């Protein structure tokens, strides 16, 4: 072998060793993952989940928020796997309306947010037509009107319309701030009327002052500027009814459902939709039905499930 070849070979070996050494000491990305394979709803708390019971925004004033709307159901197409199911019901009256919300503590900010969610457009019981809203989002508390630190990224599926429009659609919203009463919001959003009920993989990259949104691998929106999260947020799913548009009261309650297959957050990394799918597959194959290596939520932050 020539001296040039020997030198090149040695250089290649040195570079390979350097790469291996760097990969060996590089910290693994911090992740939160749950594929909802717990034995019971009560076991969700072991993964840090909180169930909402407090009254208040959003939804129908006077409605209940309750764990009654949470269940774990088997995936009929994949033995051994199951979904989280949220359900909400209304008989057309505030006292006959039950909404559902599940939250993680406020430890989520920059990184990749993803979930595989089944939206529905018809009730499993009763007449169709109530303004039901099915969501996956992250949010911080609103400390006061126009709170400059308020932060929220929000997927909302409106199968019966709402928010001033009868058009069924999927919303993607990055918030700056808001006043609840009287309502005045500052945010950036897009609307996707072509997204229908069924299973969808939702991905949001929150990095470098921009939020980038993907549905089923397709880029659908980008927001930035003042519409960007600035404080840690709680990760949430909720199923609720927009106030003011319920169908008339009836003896048979209307019951709606939303399912969640898995949820993933990777801190300080912008994963593509393809990388998200590979990461979920890798975690499942390695036996990680749940995983949480994120830094603990600060004790200085309010850890409530009420917004």
Residues 6 or more apart in contact with residue 188 via CB below 8 angstroms: 173, 174, 176, 223, 224, 225, 227
pLDDT of residue 122: 97
129/251 Cα distance (integer angstroms): 16
Burial 103-136 (b: 16+ CB within 10 A, else e): bbbbbbbbbbbbbbbbbbbebeebeebbbbbbbb
pLDDT digits over 284-297, tens only? 999 999 999 999 88
pLDDT digits over 185-240, tens only? 999 999 999 999 999 999 999 999 999 999 999 999 999 999 999 999 999 999 99
59/306 Cα distance (integer angstroms): 11
pLDDT digits over 53-78, tens only? 999 999 999 999 999 999 999 988 88
pLDDT of residue 81: 85
Residue 22 above 80 pLDDT? no
pLDDT of residue 1: 47
Segment among 23-27, 144-148, 288-292 with least mean pLDDT:
23-27
Average pLDDT over residues 135-153: 96
Q: What's the DSSP call for residue 26?
A: S
Q: Residue 87: which of 263, 241, 215 has the closest Cα? A: 241
82/259 Cα distance (integer angstroms): 10
**Pairing mode, strands 111-119 and 152-158:** unpaired
Q: How many CB atoms lie within 10 A of CB 224?
A: 13
69/65 Cα distance (integer angstroms): 8
Query: How many residues are given for the chain?
Result: 307
Contact 159, 120 (CB under 8 A): yes
Per-residue HEC secondary structure of 80-123 comes to CCEEEEEEEEECCCCCCEEEEEEEEEEEECCEEEEEEEEECCCC
CATH 2.60.120.200 fits 29-292, yes or no: yes
200/17 Cα distance (integer angstroms): 42
Per DSSP (E only), the strands in the chain are 31-34, 50-51, 64-65, 70-74, 82-90, 97-108, 111-119, 132-139, 152-158, 169-179, 184-192, 198-207, 210-215, 218-224, 233-241, 254-267, 290-292
Q: Residue 286: which of 275, 278, 294 has the closest Cα? A: 278
pLDDT of residue 211: 98
**Tokens read off for 187:** 């945010």
287/264 Cα distance (integer angstroms): 15
Structural domain spans, the chain: 29-292
pTM of the model: 0.90
262: β partners:
116
């Amino acid at each position: 072998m020539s001296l040039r070849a020997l030198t090149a070979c040695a250089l290649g070996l040195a570079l390979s060793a350097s790469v291996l050494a760097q990969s060996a000491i590089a910290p693994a990305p911090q992740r939160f993952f749950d594929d909802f394979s717990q034995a019971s709803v009560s076991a969700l708390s072991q993964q840090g989940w909180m169930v909402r019971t407090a009254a208040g925004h959003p939804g129908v004033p006077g409605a209940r928020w309750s764990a009654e709307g949470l269940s774990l159901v088997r995936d009929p197409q994949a033995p051994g796997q199951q979904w989280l199911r949220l359900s909400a019901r209304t008989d057309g009256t505030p006292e006959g309306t039950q909404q559902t919300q599940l939250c993680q503590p406020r430890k989520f900010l920059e990184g990749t947010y993803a979930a595989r969610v089944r939206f529905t457009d018809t009730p499993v019981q009763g007449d169709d037509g109530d303004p039901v809203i099915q969501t996956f989002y992250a949010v911080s508390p609103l400390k006061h009107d126009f709170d400059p630190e308020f932060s929220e990224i929000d997927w909302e599926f409106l199968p019966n319309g709402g928010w001033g429009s009868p058009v069924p659609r999927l919303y993607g919203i990055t918030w700056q701030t808001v006043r609840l009463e009287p309502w005045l919001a500052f945010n950036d959003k897009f609307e996707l009327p072509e997204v229908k009920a069924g299973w969808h993989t939702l991905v949001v990259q929150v990095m470098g002052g921009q939020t980038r949104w993907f549905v089923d691998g397709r880029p659908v929106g980008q927001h930035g500027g003042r519409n960007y999260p600035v404080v840690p947020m709680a990760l949430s799913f909720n199923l609720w009814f927009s106030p003011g548009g319920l169908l008339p009261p009836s003896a048979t309650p209307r019951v709606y459902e939303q399912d969640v297959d898995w949820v993933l957050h990777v801190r300080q990394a912008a994963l593509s939709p393809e990388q998200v799918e590979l990461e979920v597959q890798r975690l499942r194959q390695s036996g990680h039905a749940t995983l949480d290596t994120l830094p603990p939520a600060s004790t200085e932050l309010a850890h409530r499930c009420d917004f």
